């Protein structure tokens, strides 16, 4: 047994799924799977966000899962919302009784507590600044979401950095994020929730079965950090973490990640909030002060896609370096 795995306690308890009835978008179901580990998860890797495939897709940030071989990276990806109005609350690692415990993510009408973890791309620790639902359509904030002409419902709210930038991936414990649920997050946590979609589950399972995703193999810099769709690990638009080695699909050569893949290198967890807000409150379907979205807005990809100019301010991609 490797040194990394020594002292690791993995407890998986599978409970019955509570059948609460199927009520369309208001369906609430949960499968109790408790995972607790003695070793803290690695820091979040730095990576770019693939282009959104089309309307109705919601960004699911990457995270560290845990299996028999240790921590493994589950790439960030775009997923079709299971119903109109659905927002994703990311899962997070918390600290309890001397162990790191995984709190699974879920779909709901509002964004709940996700440990204050700065996953980036709109998930900056509280709420979601990447977009909102209106009249049956999802509107994307181009400041923090990588969208192109395939998506017409967009707006642009400049994002500024007014929090400390870090890549901590867990809440509580030594070195963890010190965040507690706000009143709005507590309300959102009590709402009706829907589990991860089948596509998300398969995406996580594929990650756990891929040795290259193991932290012990990639040293916290996975060669596939994000994918354009769930399970699309071999897609040409999949993105490697900064510092990883991503093999050229057309040749036997390899090189540093991010070279020639068409994606600007971005800090996924750059610690931003929408301008004009001290906090992005969970449950808000859009950021205050953002104005009206620009419907049928078709801007060419690459327009304003350069890296942020000036410390903490972002123009186009919304992710500083």
Q: How many CA atoms lie within 13 A of 126 on its CB side?
A: 21
Q: Take residue 307 and report the two structure tokens written for it.
A: 């890296």
What SS3 state is found at 222?
A: coil
61-90 pLDDT per residue, tens: 999 999 999 999 999 999 999 999 999 999
Identify any residues that bridge with 74 across adjacent strands, giving them in sequence order.
63
CA nearest to 197, candidates 106, 95, 296: 106
Distance of CA 243 to the CA centre of its chain: 19
pTM score: 0.72
Question: In 3D, which of 217, 233, 308 has the Cα closest to residue 225?
Answer: 233
CA–CA separation, 72 and 66 (whole Å): 6
Is a pLDDT exceeding 50 seen at residue 12? no
Domain residue ranges in the chain: 13-274
Answer whether 173's CB lies under 8 Å from 98's CB. no
State pLDDT tens for residues 16-37: 222 223 223 222 233 456 788 9
Question: What residues contact 40, with CB distance under 8 A and at least 6 apart?
Answer: 93, 100, 170, 173, 174, 175, 176
- Tell me the C-alpha distance between 173 and 41, whole Å: 11
Alpha-carbon distances of 10 from 49, 66, 103, 203, 301, rounded to whole Å: 31, 9, 15, 21, 44
pLDDT at 34: 77
Backbone angles phi, psi at 69, to 5 degrees: -95, 5
What's the mean pLDDT in 211-235? 97
């Amino acid at each position: 047994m490797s040194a990394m795995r020594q002292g690791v306690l993995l407890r998986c308890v599978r409970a019955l799924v509570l059948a609460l009835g199927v009520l369309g978008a208001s369906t609430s179901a949960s499968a109790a799977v408790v995972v607790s580990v003695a070793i803290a998860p690695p820091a979040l890797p730095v990576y770019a966000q693939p282009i959104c495939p089309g309307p109705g897709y919601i960004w699911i940030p990457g995270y560290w899962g845990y299996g028999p071989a240790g921590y493994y990276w589950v790439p960030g990806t775009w997923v079709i919302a299971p119903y109109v109005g659905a927002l994703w609350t990311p899962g997070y690692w918390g600290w309890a009784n001397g162990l790191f415990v995984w709190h699974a993510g879920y779909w709901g009408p509002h964004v709940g507590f996700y440990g204050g973890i700065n996953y980036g791309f709109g998930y900056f620790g509280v709420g979601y600044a990447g977009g909102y639902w209106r009249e049956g359509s999802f509107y994307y904030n181009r400041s923090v979401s990588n969208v192109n002409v395939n998506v017409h419902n967009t707006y642009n709210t400049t994002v500024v950095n007014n929090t400390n930038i870090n890549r901590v991936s867990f809440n509580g414990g030594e070195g963890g994020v010190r965040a507690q649920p706000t009143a709005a997050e507590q309300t959102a946590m009590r709402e009706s929730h829907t589990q991860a979609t089948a596509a998300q589950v398969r995406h996580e399972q594929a990650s756990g079965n891929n040795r290259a995703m193991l932290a012990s193999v990639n040293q916290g810099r996975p060669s596939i950090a994000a994918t354009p769709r769930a399970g699309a690990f071999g897609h040409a638009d999949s993105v490697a973490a900064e510092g990883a080695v991503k093999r050229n699909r057309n040749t036997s050569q390899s090189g540093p990640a991010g070279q020639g893949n068409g994606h600007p290198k971005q800090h996924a967890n750059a610690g931003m909030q929408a301008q004009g807000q001290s906090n992005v409150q969970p449950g808000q379907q859009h950021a205050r002060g953002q104005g009206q979205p620009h419907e049928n807005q078709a801007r060419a990809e690459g327009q304003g896609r350069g890296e942020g100019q000036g410390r903490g301010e972002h123009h186009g991609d919304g992710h500083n370096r």
